Amino acid sequence: MPLEMSLDCDTMKKADIAILFDRLSDVLPEPRSELEYVNPYTLLVAVVLSAQATDVGVNKATRELFKIVDTPEKMLALGEGELKQHIKTIGLFNTKAKNVIALSRRLINDFGSAVPEDRDALQSLPGVGRKTANVVMNVAFGHPTIAVDTHIFRVGNRTGLAPGKTPDAVESKLEKAVPPGRKLHAHHWLILHGRYTCKARKPECPNCCIRDICGYKAKTTFEAPLAGGTKARVKKKLGDKPRPKRRAGL
């Protein structure tokens, strides 16, 4: 997480924040997590594994794992050694395997094998911090939480939507700034915008759907912008992929 981020931007006005979410909503009306999962338990495991790793890398490792393990009991039966074999391509896999086994045991012993919906209970699980709890609460249970990852931290600062020096500061500003009707999907809209358009090294400002309201003072220019703009490119990136598996009702 880049804790140092240029704050050389104009703070976004309330009217422009509404426009920003209107436009991101036009691009993707129903944004979804790019992590693959089949139920709240596998979502929790996937999010724990995704710390400092890409969703693509986690999905590669969990695709086979979740075919045989979709409950805490099955995870304990698999065991830490076998789990490591499945996730050894993911960074920090030794620590993550220990945490997944420990959190599975806690779920069985203290939560009737179910993933808790409550923030404090989630954060009491091994390997689960505020960001992971926010993702699980949002994706599995539909709470309007915003987990500030590296993409949201960057977009919040560059655009002037929610400037802050720490992820917690950005999260706090987003909680106040995001219009109530946009809070449920704000997390994924901002992540996907950061992942595919407002990229870390070279943001694609000429193709950006919020360029005119973005407060970033160092917008990039391309000699030959990609045809089709943000909507076409994000849809191209996401549209050909199978949607993450999810349980009915999620």
Residue 208 sits in the site that holds ligand SF4 (CB under 6 A):
yes
Query: Candidates 83-91, 111-119, 142-150, 198-206 — which segment interacts with ligand SF4 by CB under 6 A?
Result: 198-206
Give ∠ CA 201-36-56 in degrees, rounded to 5. 30
Grouping H, G, I as helix, E, B as strand and the rest as coil, residue 9 is strand
Give the 3-state secondary structure of residue 174: helix
The one segment of 38-46, 99-107, 168-176, 204-212 that binds ligand SF4 by CB under 6 A: 204-212
Number of residues that bind ligand SF4 (CB under 6 A): 13
SS3 216: strand
Q: Please count the other Cβ atoms lying within 10 Å of the Cβ belonging to residue 143.
A: 16
- Asked if 216 touches ligand SF4 (CB under 6 A), the answer is yes
Q: Does 219 bind ligand SF4 (CB under 6 A)?
A: yes
Which residue(s) pair with 44 in the sheet? Answer: none
Closer residue to ligand SF4 (CB): 182 or 246: 182
Q: Is 157 in the site for ligand SF4 (CB under 6 A)?
A: no
Give the residue, chosen from 106, 211, 237, 247, that forms a contact with ligand SF4 under the rule CB under 6 A: 211
* Residue 142 to residue 25: CA distance in whole angstroms: 17
Residues 222-241 binding ligand SF4 (CB under 6 A) are: none
Distance of CA 184 to the CA centre of its chain: 13
Query: Residue 217 has what DSSP assignment?
Result: T
Interface positions with ligand SF4 (CB under 6 A): 158-159, 197-198, 203-205, 208, 210-211, 214, 216, 219
